Chains A and B, each alone.
Chain A
Amino acid sequence: MHSSIRPNQHVVLQLPSDQTRIVKLVPDTVVHLGKYGSFAANQILGRPFFLTFEILDAPQNDGYQLRIVPAEELHAENLIEEADADGEGEEGESGSATPIPMRTNRNITDDASTQKLTTQEIEELKKKTSGAGKEIVARLLESHTLLDKKTAFSLAKYTLRKRKKYIRRFTVLPLDVGFLTNFLLEQRDAQRTMELRDEHVGLLGCLGNVHHGGQSDLSAISSVRPDGRYFVVDETGGLVVAAMAERMGILYPEEDDEDAEPVESSGTAHGEVESSDKKSTTSMPRHKRPRPMSAQGNTITVIHSYSQPNLSLLKYFGYDINTPDESHPLHTHLKTVSWLQLVDPATDPILSSEPPALSSEELAALKASKRTAYFFKRNRWEKFRAVTDEARAGGFDGLVVATLLEPAGILKHTIPLLSGSAAVAVYSPFIEPLTELMDLYSTARRTAFINKKRELENSRSSEEETLDISPLLEEFTLDPTQLLPPTLHTTRVRAWQVLPGRTHPLMTGRGGSEGYLFHGVHVIPTSANIQAAGTFRKKRKVEETSTPASDRDVEMAS
């Protein structure tokens, strides 16, 4: 995936000003880049990503108006500087007698008069000159009166600033989760994606242990239980879902590509449904087409708060939940279930009203339009019934959360549906919801819970009686013995500028939320009988400080 630019694909265009734009490349159209000019989409289609193009002033005979800027040219200045620096270093070692006086900014006065070119002249130049703005920059440098007084640093800064303003270049980047995250953070309303950063996305996926589930159809052992089923609660408009789908290999449509070798037709999506030959699907009868949300393994189940999930960002990856593309892996591998369907399906408007199953005779008797409506309703009901039943059956491999909801409530309902040892990862832009969650799993609370549970057990009339812990949950919100070891992380990347003799961290950056991640692993406490087998109450009290039940205390004591 992502080796060359494809028609009708969303791409990122990086401009000299470091701004990025997301553009859908429709063949035979023109892409406008504001002051940097415009170009025909056809002129970059089929080319590899990460190339930098320069918009030429005059088109060639066939109308081609771009030039690929080679890497040497992009690095030219740094390469020259580096070479110079090497030269100077050698001179210095030989001990030249006349040291070159170090330039400083003591003789520079801030004054607009230093630049002799007027705005009008620059505008004129813009219209006339060739060389994609390079000439303007050169002229600007020429007509700067104090250029020779500038230090190397300020000269570099000045040149860079002018170049950013006038040079007509752009770089084409593939639109993947990383670039989309940065774009949304820097150039859109960052709060709508909960100020999620690259480093959070990476850590969230790793802590959640989200990965491809393998081919459930090949290995006999795992066919008992499909692998790679994850719960996602996502209030970022689909960014977290996209990130997890990327990790699971179900985000990008398969490429039916002719230029690559046969091996290259990279299988990114699988599951029983996907393994069937893609090309034949179109000729297949209607009911043989992959049904939505039908994959067994390697799936994401999104739990949403409103009747429809908000996954609008998936449109950038060729998947619109309202008009799903059936060949897209998300069509079968992305499942959605509302909190109502998950927690209390009996009251859900769709699930509670099952359309009666009609026999083929009854169907034949119906009018065509009625029949279509019947199939639509019946299929929808079956789809949601299957997804809900499957979700409520549990056995999920992980839970990844980025939400405005109270995290405790989410964990209360989803942790029992996770398989043992499955990871829980919760992202929050603020620390407070997560410290509260940490507190719900605190050692003191867990010990109190265990003791109260034991009291309940002892008060039972018989051993066989099943224990009802609902009074405990009222007090404790959730079962603190089901998750170990609750950990809170924060991570932040600091960017540096690396230039010959001018290496330092970037001077400015984006503030805002720090971003925090909660992590824990679902564990299954031993059944009550074994715990109660020990009759030495007093002794156990002593033990508790030496056993893992109270890991925090032990740490402090040791």
Chain B
Amino acid sequence: MPSPFLTPGTVAQADNVALLHLRRDQTIPTILRATDDQNLGYKEGKVSNTRFGSFPHSTLINQPWGSQIVASKVDTGSRGRRGPGNKRKAEEIDVSGTTTPAEDEGSALKKPEAAASGFLHLMYPTPESWTLSLPHRTQVVYTPDYSYVLHRLRARPGGTVIEAGAGSGSFTHAAVRAVFNGYPDEDAPTKKRKFGKVCSFEFHEQRATRVKEEITEHGLDGLVEVTHRDVYEGGFLLGDPETGRSPKANAIFLDLPAPWLALKHLVRKPASGVESPLDPNSTVYLCTFSPCLEQVERTIRVMRQLGWLNISMVEVNHRRIDVKRERIGLDCEGIRGATVFPRSVDEAMQKLRTDDERAKRLRLAHTEGTRVDHPPKEDQTASRDQQQATYDMGRLVHRTESEIKTHTSYLVFAILPRDWSEEDDLKCRQKWPSNKIDAEPKPAPKSRKQQKKEFKELRLREQKEDNEAEQQEEQEQEATEESIAA
């Protein structure tokens, strides 16, 4: 089954994960089901209830991704004691796999009726939206961090990434997208191509089980291999910690409390004599993710001892920015979001003058004992509104959103080159003799553009020469004619 994370297709299909986008930063992940597999008692089959209405899955399945879906009238009251909103529990039941394909039952389902209000947007999941909507089990690695980490780790299609602490699975999803280059075919493993893979390790049993379940639900089996293990002790081999297969990783991400304890396994020739989990034919890129400086110092110290190179430490500062229109003016009374205050010195002066006049009139009226006659009010707002739509008024301003993450973690990057022995070097020296040096470097092959240009120039020159020759001939001819005439 293709994963909607990687190859979503055009429409949302049953038994796939989909995201129900309610509004900014509020997205509900759900597994689309054609039938009410948990028997929650809805007449319409499986229903997702949100604060913006109820959405029977029959209104979502086979809809194009990105569609706006109108809520349905769903009777949530008369279905026994089971209250709405236990979707999380429902998803857990999904996994136990008691889906009974009931075609006839499906046809008997009540056709949902559109509600008067409420809608959502049906989105395919991406690592970014998943990161924002996933159930938190641990501190999550957010998009600004993992995007930079994966870029620096050179996690590319066909690569293998080791991840330890899987945690909530945010980085797992981003990593698998980065290395994905096709679904490996279990039946006919092709020798020619290496498929991208993520090897995820988690020492918390419950979390490991949950990540495994999510991977299956998301159609990522075969692309992500989750192992429940304490990597400080057990290392990074797949299957058995001592005799298992090597993942042959070229990128490693350690989100562990004590990454330095895991580093001893990430060497070319482990002291314990087991196979190295690293790809012997490639450079290995490593990143550790630690919130405290002390962790960083210890990690880097061990990295230096183990021969890691290009060690660098950075932190990522990311902010989201709010953009709005700021409206200030004395004519803004009653307009939402606007501030009633003079827009300019002129307006302030104008206001002071009118206030003063009004006070004078009041005083005069008071002393004379007559009624105050109001000057006719100018209908300024109406004329302004006609000129400009309200959404276009005011000054466009921006500022950092109100809550920001000022620190996520320190990122330590390091590189371990391929192992290189004396023999390897000697072989290279024979292949590329050091003494052989060309006296003059070969000219670079000409580009087609250049060739064209040169050809044009040549033609121009020829033409010119031709012309000159002709002219000369003509002149000569003229000269001869003249001489004849003479």
Question: Which residues on A are within 8 Å of B, measured CB to CB?
Answer: 1-4, 26-30, 40, 42-43, 45-52, 59, 62-65, 68, 70-72, 74-75, 78-79, 82, 174, 176, 178, 198-199, 201-203, 205-207, 209, 211-215, 218-219, 221-222, 224-225, 227, 246-249, 259-268, 270, 320, 322-323, 395, 419-423, 431, 435-436, 438-439, 442, 444-445, 447-448, 475, 484-485, 487-496, 498, 500, 503, 516, 521-526, 530, 533-534, 536, 539-540, 543, 546-549, 551-552, 554-555
Contact = CB atoms under 8 A, between A and B. Distances in A.
Contacts of A50: 283, 309-310, 415, 417
A323 B447 contact: yes
B425 A322 contact: no
Interface string B302-335: 0011011111111111111111110000000000
Interface stretch (B101-109, B187-195, B347-355, B475-483): B187-195
B119 A206 contact: no
B148 A62 contact: no
A375 to B, nearest CB: 16
A322 B449 contact: yes
27 contacts: A26-B442, A40-B434, A46-B431, A51-B420, A63-B433, A70-B307, A74-B309, A202-B149, A202-B152, A221-B2, A259-B281, A263-B191, A395-B10, A421-B124, A423-B126, A442-B391, A485-B25, A488-B323, A489-B320, A494-B315, A494-B317, A500-B301, A522-B66, A523-B21, A539-B117, A547-B118, A551-B24
Given A198-B151, A496-B410, A214 B315 contact: no
B156 A247 contact: yes
Given A3-B418, A202-B150, A218 B185 contact: yes
Interface in B428-486: 428-429, 431-438, 441-442, 445, 447-449
A82 B66 contact: no
Contacts of A224: 9-10
B92 interface: no
A498 B151 contact: no
B287 interface: no
Contacts of A436: 396
B117 A540 contact: yes
Nearest to A490: B319
Contact of B68 (A246, A266, A524): A524
B59 to A, nearest CB: 11
Contacts of B390: 444, 448
Interface residues of B, number: 117
**Chain A to chain B: the 10 pairs with minimum beta-carbon distance, closest first:** A420-B66, A249-B157, A202-B151, A267-B193, A551-B23, A71-B307, A63-B435, A444-B391, A48-B418, A421-B65
Contacts of A554: 23
B437 A322 contact: no
Interface string B352-379: 0000000000000000000000000000
A211 B126 CA distance: 11
Given A493-B317, A548-B119, A526 B67 contact: yes
A270 B190 CA distance: 14
Contact of A202 (B122, B147, B300): B147
B16 to A, nearest CB: 11
A45 B430 CA distance: 11
Contacts of B9: 221-222, 224-225
Contacts of B442: 26
A323 B116 contact: no
A341 to B, nearest CB: 21
A442 B37 CA distance: 40
Contacts of B257: none
Contacts of A212: 157, 180-182, 196
Contacts, number: 354
Nearest to B123: A421
Nearest to A29: B441
Contacts of A320: 447
Given A50-B415, A214-B181, A534 B116 contact: yes
Nearest to A60: B434
Nearest to A250: B157
A473 to B, nearest CB: 15
Contact of B192 (A267, A420, A490): A267
Interface string B247-290: 00000000000000000000000000000000001110000000
A300 to B, nearest CB: 14
B61 interface: no
A219 B320 contact: no
B305 A29 contact: no
Contacts of A74: 309
Nearest to A225: B10
A309 to B, nearest CB: 14
B73 interface: no
Given A263-B194, A420-B67, A526-B70, A209 B126 contact: yes
Contacts of B120: 548
A421 B17 CA distance: 14
B201 interface: no
Contacts of A42: 432-434, 436-437
B314 A494 contact: yes
Contact of B325 (A213, A263, A439, A488): A439
B283 A3 contact: yes
Interface string B141-178: 00110111111101011100000000000000010011
B24 A485 contact: yes
B29 to A, nearest CB: 14
A198 B152 contact: yes
B22 interface: yes
B205 interface: no
A51 B307 CA distance: 12
Given A421-B66, A436-B396, A546-B52, A222 B158 contact: no
A267 B159 CA distance: 10
Contacts of B157: 211-212, 247-249, 268
Looking at B124, B296, B417, B420, which has the most chain A CB atoms within 10 Å of its CB? B417
B41 interface: no
B389 interface: yes
Contacts of A494: 314-317
A79 B301 CA distance: 8
B302 to A, nearest CB: 10
A214 B193 CA distance: 12
Contact of B147 (A4, A206, A322): A206
